[in-house]
Structure 1
Amino acid sequence: MATNMDLMKKIIEEKRQKTKQQDKLKRPDKQIGEARKRIKQHKGGGLFDK
């Protein structure tokens, strides 16, 4: 029973380490030139699009 608990703890720790590494890779501290991208995507049509 103790070995199963130890194995589970090791697996959980490995998963935590992997997720920490993935978070570092996925999100840079600051993205240059992407700050206003969402605003451009969600603008609707104006007078000339009708």
Structure 2
Amino acid sequence: MSVLVCKEAPDFTAATVMPDNTIKEDFNLKEYIKGSYGLVFFYPLDFTFVCPS
């Protein structure tokens, strides 16, 4: 995948943990940021095969 720094993020809908620790099953990026800047951060679950711990 190419680097998307300073480019518009692709729109997606996914299950997401929100800032208040609730889970939103139908989170949509463009709806949430509504034209402002945002940071998309993905973190693998601890102690899974993708986590180097």
Range into which the TM-score falls when normalised by the shorter chain: under 0.3
Q: Which has the higher contact order (CA 8 A, sep 6+)?
A: 2
TM-score by length of 1: 0.19
Identify, as 1 or 2, the structure richer in strand: 2
Larger Rg: 1
Hey, which of these two has a bigger chunk of helix by percent? 1
Give TM-score scaled by structure 2 length.
0.19
